[in-house]
Amino acid sequence: AQSVAQPEDQVNVAEGNPLTVKCTYSVSGNPYLFWYVQYPNRGLQFLLKYITGDNLVKGSYGFEAEFNKSQTSFHLKKPSALVSDSALYFCAVRANNNDMRFGAGTRLTVKP
Amino acid sequence: EAQVTQNPRYLITVTGKKLTVTCSQNMNHEYMSWYRQDPGLGLRQIYYSMNVEVTDKGDVPEGYKVSRKEKRNFPLILESPSPNQTSLYFCASSLGGPGYGYTFGSGTRLTVV
């Protein structure tokens, strides 16, 4: 069965600095990888996904993620963080059986 | 507007009183799923459905029931709620196939006292 690990419960960065939220995965077969963001009292919103092709995928709000097959990682990145990026971020992997598994989430705090 | 609608948003109930959380999507999605979100545990799948009349257990199905009589609706039923089912619940839907992401509802915060 597929699984996802987000090794950091919390990431703190200063506004304007680059940010990275880490994710590693385990799956049999081809990985279909996703990042979602959750703002307070809201549902999860899709940010970006990797299906195939270019290892660097770009998504909403200036976020991007780098797929690394050898390290089984899919880290979320942004060159310059905004205070409004503060939220809970979830990495997820979906396998051929359609089952989507989520990590425990990483709380990103961007300080002015 | 394409969306997944859950009701109610907030619910406080007593132990043992049956309740239903409704979920409806207007995108003609085949796949629907229920998750619960608890601090430090992320989202855990309760039940999912790959199409009408096809449902299956997720990771934490105990104490829950679902049905999928129509493509758009996927209600979550708690026959006899207990305090350990206090949680934030999300319904999600997607097209079939692993390359598609989920569209999530806004969530239902359930408290069982």
Contacts of A41 in chain B (CB under 8 A): 107
Cβ separation of A46 and B48 shorter than 8 Å? Answer: no
Q: What is the pLDDT of residues B80-94, one digit of tens each?
A: 999 999 999 999 999
Our CA-based measurement puts residue B99 at a distance from the nearest CA of chain A, in whole angstroms, of 6
Query: What pLDDT was estimated at residue A6?
Result: 96
- pLDDT tens sequence across B33-83: 999 999 888 899 999 999 999 999 999 999 999 999 999 999 999 999 999
Local confidence band at A45 (pLDDT 50, 70, 90 cut-offs): very high
Q: What are phi and psi of A60, to 5 degrees?
A: -75, 155
For residue A69, give both structure tokens: 């097959």
pLDDT at position A40, please? 86
Under DSSP, is residue A85 helix (H, G, I), strand (E, B) or coil? helix
Q: Would you tell me how many other CB atoms lie within 10 Å of the CB of residue A10? A: 9
CA distance to partner chain A, nearest, from residue B89 (Å): 10
Higher-confidence residue of A15 and A30: namely A15
Distance CA A88, CA A77 (A): 14
Instruction: Choose from A100, A106, A107 for mutation: most chain B CBs within 10 A.
Output: A100
Residue A36 CB neighbours (<10 A) = 26
- List of E strands, chain B: 4-7, 10-13, 19-25, 31-38, 42-51, 54-57, 65-66, 76-78, 87-94, 103-104, 108-112
DSSP class of residue B78?
E
- pLDDT beyond 90 at A98: no
Has residue A78 got a pLDDT over 80? yes
C-alpha distances (whole Å) from B14 to each of B37, B64, B86, B94 are 20, 16, 11, 33
CA dihedral B109, B54, B94, B11 (to 10 degrees): -10
The pLDDT of residue A103 is above 80: yes
Q: For residue A49, give the amino acid letter.
A: K
Residues of A in contact with B96 (CB under 8 A): 98
Mean pLDDT of A87-98: 87
pLDDT band at B2 (very low <50, low <70, confident <90, very high): confident
**pLDDT above 90 for A96:** no
Q: What is the 3-state secondary structure (H, E, C) of B30-51?
A: CEEEEEEEECCCEEEEEEEEEE
Query: What is the pLDDT confidence band of residue A21, given thresholds at 50, 70 and 90?
Result: very high
CA atoms of B8 and A95, how far apart (whole Å): 31
Per-residue pLDDT, averaged over A90-109, amounts to 88
Q: How far apart are CA A19 and CA A23, in angstroms?
A: 13
Among B29, B46, B48, B104, the residue to mutate for chain A (most A Cβ within 10 A): B104
Would you call A95 an interface residue with chain B, using a CB distance cutoff of 8 Å? yes
As a whole number, the mean pLDDT across chain A is 93
Measure the CA–CA gap between B82 and B80, rounded to whole angstroms: 7
Q: At B30, is the pLDDT very low, low, confident or very high (cuts 50, 70, 90)?
A: very high
Q: Taking CB atoms and an 8 Å cutoff, what residues of chain B touch A94?
A: 98-99
Find the range with the poorest average confidence among A95-104, B5-14, B21-30: A95-104
A101: Cβ contacts below 8 Å, ≥ 6 apart: A1, A2, A3, A4, A92, A93, A94, B45
pLDDT higher than 80, residue A97:
no
Rg for chain B (alpha carbons), in Å?
13
